[in-house]
Structure 1
Amino acid sequence: MHKKLGIILTAGLSLLLTGCSKVSLSTTAKTYSPDGMVAVVKGHTANHNTVTYQIDNGVKHSVKVHDKTFVIQVPASNREQKVKLTASAGNKQQQQTVKVKAVKSLGNYQQVVQKYNQMVVMSKLSSQEIQTLKAASTLKKALSSPDPQLMQQIKQAQQVEQKVQQLQSTTKSEQLPVQLNGIHNVVDNSAYTLRLNVQNGDLMGVTMMIPVKSFKNKAQAQQFGTAFALFSQALGANGKQVMHEFESKTKDQDKTQTTSKTIIDHGVKYSIGFSTTKLYVYITKA
């Protein structure tokens, strides 16, 4: 009798241990679409603290599991991506593979950088200095014989050119890095934070994060407004029009309201989100 009871208890314990070590892994969908800068992959697993994943057989990453649920953020790309997820327990594994759809890019990153950085420098010049700079090449061609008036204008143009060279150095903190891949904060100051997603040489998405309190500071508000308008111009949108619509949609915003608002201009989509402390602008291809 005791021997039979021992066998039953051993068998029950064995089944219990087998159940505890069973590997489970599931996702809420097989295919995901990016929303803003990332696609959010959600899933469930039991008895595991972490889930590892690889994007297109790249570097392995891991995320923590909370209440048997995990969330993975996959940067949006102009190519379809395969994400392989793995949950392990001892020598047992369970794997799932999901797809993330490709989305249209905002343009070639190098081209956007060149336009934006140049505009950042030019925005520091007065309208008179810009006119002098534009006329410089024409003046040099016209100078076939000594002319005191032309010589003076050329001297002024040379002074502006020297100022531009200095500005290229002093505005580095406001400019975009020439080389970039992945999701990074590229500008971070008291007025705004600029985050970019660059994949395969293309700019996939932009996020601007603006502290609500900075709108009460005239200098900081102007700093953000200039960067926002210039970036819109670099993307091919109408910077002045976008800024006008932005001001219209945000000036009467209720601090407790979190509903997002949208602007679309020249194929560029701006989704504006709100929190009690920050305002978010998500920029993607429409």
Structure 2
Amino acid sequence: MKKLMSLVIAAASLMVILSGCGKPTLTVSNHHLSANALAVTLKGKSNQKQVDYTVNGGTKQTVKTNSGAFVISVPTKNYQQTVKLSTDGKHQTVTVAKANVIGSYQKMRTTYNQGLTGAALPKKDQQLAQSMAKQGAQLKKEAAELKAGKATSMAAMQAKAQKATALQKQAAELKQTQAKLAPAMKKAKASVKDQLLPANPKDGIHNLIDTNKMTLRVNKSGDKVLGIAMMVPVNNLKHKKDLKPFIMSFSILTNSVGANAKHVLNKFQKAAKAKKSSSTTAPKFHSNGLLFSLGYSTSTLYVFITK
């Protein structure tokens, strides 16, 4: 009888244990995630085969679990997002902080494409283009000052008219010089056509430039740039002939988002030396309100830009 009772108790205990194993579970590693360069990684655990989730009440999506764990990638936006997860009656909610806007995509595109095209010009034409840019900026400044100035006397009005005539003449001469440089600019643009930023890319996370030397990935919403990732094969950084195009593209990209290219490159070189000395920390540095973060893998260098 005692043996029978022992078996009954053991069987009952086993059933309790087994019923506990079958009870659905759902947990997340963090209920509040900070915005990242392109997307945040939401990690969780569940003993179910899959977990359903929605972002800001959108279409239901599903992620499968692997050994009781799951990972969801949520692209960052310029507003806070709420991720609701559920599986077999269990629920969790995670908030994703908004990303700060780096700047205007069209402004970045114009500056980047002009810089890259200019760098592809022969050296003498580069100097001419730089001189023309300075001259054009000066003419624009002087024209604005002339328009804002008030002439009250006859002599002042005559001087203003003479100045306006002189500016018109300089503008006409500048236009003629630009026309002479146009064929060289066209040729330079054609030589870097696969490296130029597109006019109207889709919203979200997309590769805007994808060559064997560099990949440029951007997270954008409308005209707002929310995050940038530049990926370069490590092999392209080992030789000077391959390193030069990277430095040029990186400098132009840095300038196009409003950062100080010289300052950033200086910090970048120091970070690269630290990496060679087996530093394990991911280097980060700031310039004009922007954050540059470096990441490494065995094959790729990652540069993330956020604000």
Which structure features the higher share of strand residues? 1
Distance in 1 (alpha carbons) for counterparts of 2:24 and 2:190: 56
Does residue 116 (structure 1) correspond to residue 103 (structure 2)? The answer is: no
Shift of 1:115: 2.0
Normalised to the residue count of structure 2, the TM-score between the two structures is 0.73
Deviates more, 1:65-74 or 1:191-200: 191-200
Shift of 1:114: 2.2
Secondary structure, in 3 states, of the residue corresponding to 1:251? helix
Secondary structure, in 3 states, of the residue corresponding to 2:107? helix
Does residue 240 (structure 1) correspond to residue 236 (structure 2)? The answer is: no
Find 1:275's aligned residue among 294, 297, 303: 297
**Pairs aligned (count):** 266
Equivalent residue number for residue 44 of structure 2: 43
- Matched letter for residue 182 of structure 2: E
Deviates more, 1:72-81 or 1:29-38: 29-38
Secondary structure, in 3 states, of the residue corresponding to 2:275? coil
Does residue 106 (structure 1) correspond to residue 102 (structure 2)? The answer is: yes
Equivalent residue number for residue 79 of structure 2: 79
- Cα RMSD of the aligned pairs, angstroms, is 3.4
Which structure features the higher share of helix residues? 2
Deviates more, 1:159-168 or 1:215-224: 159-168
Shift of 1:235: 1.1
For each residue in 1:143-169, what CA deviation from the matched residue of structure 2 results, as whole angstroms up to 9, or x when unmatched? Answer: 89xxxxx7xx97654231233234444
Percent of matched pairs sharing the same residue: 30
Equivalent residue number for residue 4 of structure 2: none
Find 2:181's aligned residue among 151, 156, 160: 160
- Matched letter for residue 29 of structure 1: N
Shift of 1:220: 2.4
Does residue 142 (structure 1) correspond to residue 169 (structure 2)? The answer is: yes
Equivalent residue number for residue 130 of structure 1: 129
- Contact 1:113–1:176, Cα closer than 8 Å, also in 2: yes
Distance in 2 (alpha carbons) for counterparts of 1:16 and 1:248: 57
Structure 2 residues not aligned, in runs of 5+: 1-11, 140-165
Relative distance call for 1:141 and 1:252 in structure 2 (3 A) is same
Distance in 1 (alpha carbons) for counterparts of 2:233 and 2:191: 24
Equivalent residue number for residue 284 of structure 2: 262
Distance in 2 (alpha carbons) for counterparts of 1:159 and 1:72: 54
Does residue 192 (structure 1) correspond to residue 214 (structure 2)? The answer is: yes
Distance in 2 (alpha carbons) for counterparts of 1:256 and 1:275: 13
- Contact 1:259–1:273, Cα closer than 8 Å, also in 2: no
Distance in 1 (alpha carbons) for counterparts of 2:280 and 2:299: 11
Higher Cα radius of gyration: 2
Secondary structure, in 3 states, of the residue corresponding to 1:164? helix
Structure 1 residues not aligned, in runs of 5+: 1-10, 145-149
